Amino acid sequence: MKKTIMLLLTCLAASSVFAQTGGVNNTKTLEFLQGEGVYETGVMVFLKGLKDSVWTHFDLFIADAKALAAIFMIIYFAIKSYEMMVGDKQLEIMPLIRPFGLAMVIFWWGTFVKIIAFPTDLVTNQTEQMFESEQTIVNDLRLNRAGLMLAVANSLYTYQAQTQVAEKESDTWYGQAWDAVSSTVKQGISTVVSPILELKNRLQVGMQLLFSQMLEIIGIWILRIAVYVIFMIQIIYSTILIILGPFAVAVSILPAFRDSFSTWIARFVSVNLYSGIAFLIMYLTGLMQEYALTSEISKYKELVGENGTTANLEKMAYFAGNGLLSFGTVIIVFIIGAICMFTVPSISTWIISTSGISSATSTFGRSAGTVIGVARRASGSLL
């Protein structure tokens, strides 16, 4: 049973590498296994469409906010009238106009939100173009690297087959000659055969291919999940701010909550910057991915040559003996990119200072850690 499982995993590893990189359908098979690019285009389009869809529900509480604004205006004018009646304040026109201006913001809430989001949308569009141009280069390098990985795998399989044949031949000859030759000849035969058998053992590539593919897919999905989480947080936060924002405008009519409207603007701009900053970080990590892919491509070429047909047996043997058929640079860059993505909220607060977003993201992080801890303890108790 155990041998059957190992054989199945080995076949899976071999077929996965061939499907990823082999034949005329090189691009399609790579997209089938790992997606169209480092980040899946379909998910990115879905997130953008989701944002546009949920933003259309900005008017859910407009009527309630208008009613509150009317009540707060009456209270505000009563306070101002009393202050002028007792002589504490003189008649001032501009403070009396402010509640009407705030009420007009509520009436034209959809247009007001688009105006506030316009500068951040410009930043997002610019950084997105930079990101897409870099990802075109990265995807081309991924295809090139995949072709070289196929050449390495084919060379390893070829040499493994040759060493297996040599092993069978040496076993037959070695057994027949063992009793007929002198000790000196026996030692010479051992000297010749032992390196071949050692090379054969070092060229066992099936499980190495499986682990290499698993680590690379895990790395790329960690990066994707980090990107998707940041964009989802941006959509959730901005949607809540848009839907409940009219209440902040209405409350700011009262002197005690005068700063609630300006605070809302700062938080909304800060959250809306998430997309632009995220694309900028994805662009920078794309540069790192380009360097990592280029570095690994040059190393693969040292193993199998420029055209993938002139393999270096000595280097191939040492490479296969490392345990993984990957240099690890690309996987590490994927992990670094995922870590960098979670700095987006902090960077946003550097540009638009607001404590509300920082506390919200820190609370989100603590809650996620608590949930993971509870799940770990629960799984541990079950096991």
Around 111, how many Cα atoms within 13 Å sit in the side-chain half-sphere? 5
Q: Where are the domains of the chain?
A: 50-155+206-367
Six token digits for residue 183: 């000790």
- The answer to whether residue 20 scores a pLDDT higher than 50 is no
* Averaged pLDDT, 323-338: 80
Is the Cβ–Cβ distance between 272 and 117 less than 8 Å? yes
Report pLDDT for 298: 81
- The answer to whether residue 274 scores a pLDDT higher than 90 is yes
- The answer to whether residue 354 scores a pLDDT higher than 90 is no
Pairwise CA distance, residues 97 & 46, whole Å: 43
Report pLDDT for 168: 58
Report pLDDT for 364: 46
In this prediction, what percent of the chain has a pLDDT beyond 70?
A: 59
- Encoded amino acid at 372, one letter: I
CB atoms within 10 A of CB 250: 28
State pTM to two decimals: 0.72
**52 — pLDDT class (breaks 50, 70, 90):** confident
Pairwise CA distance, residues 120 & 57, whole Å: 20
Mean pLDDT value across the chain: 73
Report pLDDT for 377: 55
Check residues 349 and 375 and name the one with the higher pLDDT. Answer: 349
- The answer to whether residue 206 scores a pLDDT higher than 50 is yes
Q: What is the pLDDT of residues 96-133, one digit of tens each?
A: 788 888 889 998 998 999 999 999 999 999 999 999 88
- The answer to whether residue 15 scores a pLDDT higher than 90 is no
Cα angle at 138 between 325 and 127, to 5 degrees?
A: 140
In this prediction, what percent of the chain has a pLDDT beyond 90?
A: 21
Check residues 35 and 356 and name the one with the higher pLDDT. Answer: 35
* Averaged pLDDT, 33-60: 79
Report pLDDT for 14: 42
Report pLDDT for 222: 92
Report pLDDT for 383: 42
**Among 24-28, 257-261, 263-267, where is mean pLDDT lowest?**
24-28
Instruction: Write b or e for each residue in 133-156: b if 16 or more Cβ atoms lie within 10 A of its Cβ, otherwise e.
Output: ebbeebbebbebbbbbbbbbbbbb
Q: What is the pLDDT of residues 132-157, one digit of tens each?
A: 888 888 888 887 777 777 666 666 65
Report pLDDT for 24: 39
Beta strands (DSSP E) in the chain are: none
Report pLDDT for 5: 41
Report pLDDT for 19: 42
Report pLDDT for 142: 81
**21 — pLDDT class (breaks 50, 70, 90):** very low
Check residues 73 and 364 and name the one with the higher pLDDT. Answer: 73
The pairs formed by 108-115 with CB atoms below 8 angstroms and a separation of 24 or more are 109/58, 109/59, 109/62, 109/245, 109/246, 109/249, 110/58, 110/59, 113/55, 113/58, 113/242, 113/245, 113/268
Check residues 171 and 5 and name the one with the higher pLDDT. Answer: 171
